[in-house]
Structures are given as structure tokens and as C-alpha cells.
């Protein structure tokens, strides 16, 4: 897996974790504000990546005949 893939996956995982925290019963006010900001930033970053990224498609320069 390449670095980029890790970044996207990692961010998604972090975001899911934060959202899950909000559903738990450990929510305190101070932590909530901080985690909200984190989640918001992550969410915006992921959105940017999804919207802008293009696919790189290439045909391998090799013949597979015998």
C-alpha cells in the first residue's frame, strides 16, 4: 500500500473514531469542543481529496504474446 492510501484510510479511520466517541457516554464539554474541531478539519480535508483527485491510467508498454 502506498503512502497516499494510508493517509486517506488513516484519516477516515480517525474520523470514524471521533464520531464514535460522540456517540459514547464519555462526552465531556471540554473534550467535545476539541474533538469537534478535529473531526471538522478531517472531514474537510477528506472532502477536498475526494473532489480534486484524478485517476492515473496507463497502458503497460509490453507485449504479452509468446
Partner 1 sequence: MRETSVLSVSDALDVLNDTLAAAVPALIVEGEVSGFSVNRGKFVFFDLKDEEASLPCFMMAFNLRFPLQDGMKVRLLATPSITAKGRFSMTVRELQPVGEGSLKKAYEILKKKLEAEGLFAPERKRVLPEFPKRIAVVSSSGAAGWADFTKILNERWGGLEVSLADVSVQGLSAPAEVIKAIEYFNQQSELADLLVIIRGGGSADDLAVFSHEDVVRAVSASRIPTVVGVGHETDESLAELAADLRASTPSNAAQLIIPDKKDLLERLTSGRAALLTRLSDAIEDWQNEVSTNRQALSTYLSHFLKSTQQQVGHHLELIRQFSPEAALQRGYGVVKGENGIISSVKNVRIGERIQVSLKDGTLGATVNDKRQSHL
Residues that bind partner 1 (CB under 8 A): 1-2, 4-5, 8-9, 12, 15, 18-19, 22-23, 27-29, 32-33, 36, 39-40, 43, 46-47, 49-60, 62, 64-66
> CA 36 to CA 19: how far, in whole Å?
9
Minimum CB separation from partner 1 for residue 15, in Å?
Answer: 7
Residue with cell 462526552: 27
Least Cβ distance, residue 37 to partner 1 (angstroms) = 10
Residue 49 backbone class (left: φ over 0; alpha: ψ -120 to 50; beta: rest): alpha
Least Å from the CB of residue 24 to partner 1: 10
CA distance 17 to 48: 20
Amino acid at each position: 500500500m502506498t503512502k497516499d492510501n494510508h493517509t486517506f484510510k488513516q484519516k477516515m479511520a480517525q474520523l470514524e473514531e471521533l464520531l464514535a466517541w460522540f456517540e459514547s457516554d464519555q462526552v465531556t464539554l471540554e473534550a467535545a469542543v476539541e474533538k469537534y474541531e478535529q473531526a471538522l478539519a478531517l472531514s474537510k480535508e477528506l472532502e477536498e481529496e475526494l473532489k480534486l483527485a484524478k485517476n492515473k491510467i496507463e497502458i503497460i508498454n509490453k507485449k504479452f504474446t509468446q
